[in-house]
Amino acid sequence: MNAGPSPDERELIILPNGARIVLDAVPNLATTAITVGIGAGARDETADQNGLAHFLEHMTFKGAAGMNAQQIAERVEDRGASANASTGYERTNYTVRCLSEDAVDMVECALSLALSADLPEGEIEREKQVVYQEIGEARDEMDDRVFDLLQATAWPDHSLGRPILGEEAILKTLTRESLAGFIERHYLADRTVVSIAGAFDRNAVIDTATRRLEGMRTGMAVERTAPVMMARSAFEKRKAEQSMMVFSRPAPSQRDQARFAARLLVEIMGGGMSSRLYQEIREKRGLAYAIDAYIDAYEDAGRIDVFCGCAPGDALEVQAVLKDVWADLAENGPTEAELARAGAVSRAAIAMSLESIAERSASSVFELLVHDQLMTVDWALEQTARTTIDDVRAVARAALDGPAAAAGIGPGPAARAVTAFVDS
């Protein structure tokens, strides 16, 4: 076992098999947040497994370490704790929030969910019905569905282009053997991080976590292939008062140094009420209620996405304004005032995240699984402070030099905006 301080006050422990434990002590609190992160998700599925990673997350709550679903729920809630899990494209997190006096038992519980799923046969078909409802709900929600449509449009024929929830037809074919096989291939020791933040008994949580982690399998992770973004558009006609659209161009990955400039770019472009798109589209022209810019980044790829909900007849003007704003940032960059404001927002977001032990726990998992090291707050702030107008301009320019993708849902007239963004 290798143990030692991280560059900040967190403690990092690396077990001989590569599994890692992070201790982020905040002694004056009365609560603890526990995250067990696995570096596997929907991206690691084959086409005929789409939805498996998410379904596996569901099944862990149906039976784990000999406990049935009711016993799992009672073990957590009898102590006033809460347990949840989330599946992304590249990671799956199992989380528990509890009182600090229950931290040791809840570390055991979280690890049981993540690593000791029983996968009871009798629950599989029943839980599929639950996930079918979840898929249907996401399909009904236009602002959810439009992002799934964009994923498939921008990254076709790649696992990042498939929906995390999966498709009913494929889920019907999944078996206990499918789920167990995914665990065998992807739930490996060196892709596992246990992060504990808040107040806890250090030695006791280390002993508990180590006992559960040291028996994990080791092996070579399945290699991921980088996606290639395509210049494509897609539109689903639907009766509605508004059209939902997402306009997208390439962005730096989570591991690219340019990600810091990209974050400032999206803040300047459409991150808040002072952003250019909010001012131009909502405040000056009244074209939309919702207009936002995001970074959708992965370990080896990324996109800048701009989401807008507007009246179908205004969609073409919205995308024209977006193009003008993007082109100006690529040509001239932001103003000094815009750069300073975006930097202040970034610094505030980091500071606020430190006040949430759930965020702290999850952040340590992200840092180790993506960057293979813990990243200090001071370092992140320094990278943001060093970002220049030219850095932001370069990211905006690189995005415009790459392919455009767009997706929309709603009445037919908005389809022209989606097509125009890609074709011109």
131 located within any domain: yes
SS3 281: helix
204 located within any domain: yes
Question: By the 8 A CB rule, do 257 and 158 touch?
Answer: no
Q: Is the pLDDT of residue 73 over 70?
A: yes
Q: Is the pLDDT of residue 6 over 80?
A: no
Q: How many domains does the chain have?
A: 2
Quick one: the chain helix, strand, coil %, rounded to 5? 50, 20, 30
Q: Which pLDDT belongs to residue 245?
A: 98
Do residue 333 and residue 188 come from a single domain? no
Binned at pLDDT 50, 70 and 90, residue 220 comes out as confident
181 located within any domain: yes
Do residue 304 and residue 394 come from a single domain? yes
Do residue 203 and residue 239 come from a single domain? no
Q: Which pLDDT belongs to residue 5?
A: 59
pLDDT digits (tens, 9 = 90+) for 180-210: 999 999 999 999 999 999 999 999 999 999 9
Between CA 304 and CA 381 the distance in angstroms is: 22
Alpha-carbon dihedral 137, 140, 143, 147, rounded to 10 degrees: 80
326 located within any domain: yes
Q: Is the pLDDT of residue 255 over 80?
A: yes
63 located within any domain: yes
Cα angle vertex 22, ends 19, 24, to 5°? 175
Q: Which pLDDT belongs to residue 221?
A: 81
pLDDT digits (tens, 9 = 90+) for 366-416: 999 999 999 998 999 999 999 999 999 999 999 999 999 999 999 999 999
Task: List the domain range (segments joined by +) for residue 61.
Answer: 2-213
| Pair of tokens at residue 283 | 């405040």
Do residue 16 and residue 159 come from a single domain? yes
Do residue 186 and residue 294 come from a single domain? no
Do residue 237 and residue 204 come from a single domain? no
CATH number of the domain where residue 57 is located: 3.30.830.10
Mean pLDDT of the chain: 96
pLDDT digits (tens, 9 = 90+) for 152-181: 999 999 999 999 999 999 999 999 999 999
224 located within any domain: no
Do residue 55 and residue 14 come from a single domain? yes
Do residue 199 and residue 82 come from a single domain? yes
Do residue 409 and residue 321 come from a single domain? yes
Q: Which pLDDT belongs to residue 2?
A: 67
Q: Which pLDDT belongs to residue 367?
A: 97
Looking up tokens 């806890």 gives 200
Do residue 124 and residue 237 come from a single domain? no
Q: Where are the beta strands (DSSP E) in 199-242?
A: 232-237
Q: Is the pLDDT of residue 39 over 90?
A: yes
338 located within any domain: yes
Question: By the 8 A CB rule, do 253 and 300 touch?
Answer: yes
pLDDT digits (tens, 9 = 90+) for 327-350: 999 999 999 999 999 999 999 998
261 located within any domain: yes
Do residue 189 and residue 239 come from a single domain? no
Cα angle vertex 274, ends 420, 414, to 5°? 20
Do residue 17 and residue 150 come from a single domain? yes
Name the DSSP class of 101: G
Q: What is the mean pLDDT of residues 243-263?
A: 97
Q: Residue 194, exposed/middle/buried by CB under 10 A (0-12, 13-18, 19+)?
A: buried
Q: Which pLDDT belongs to residue 219?
A: 87
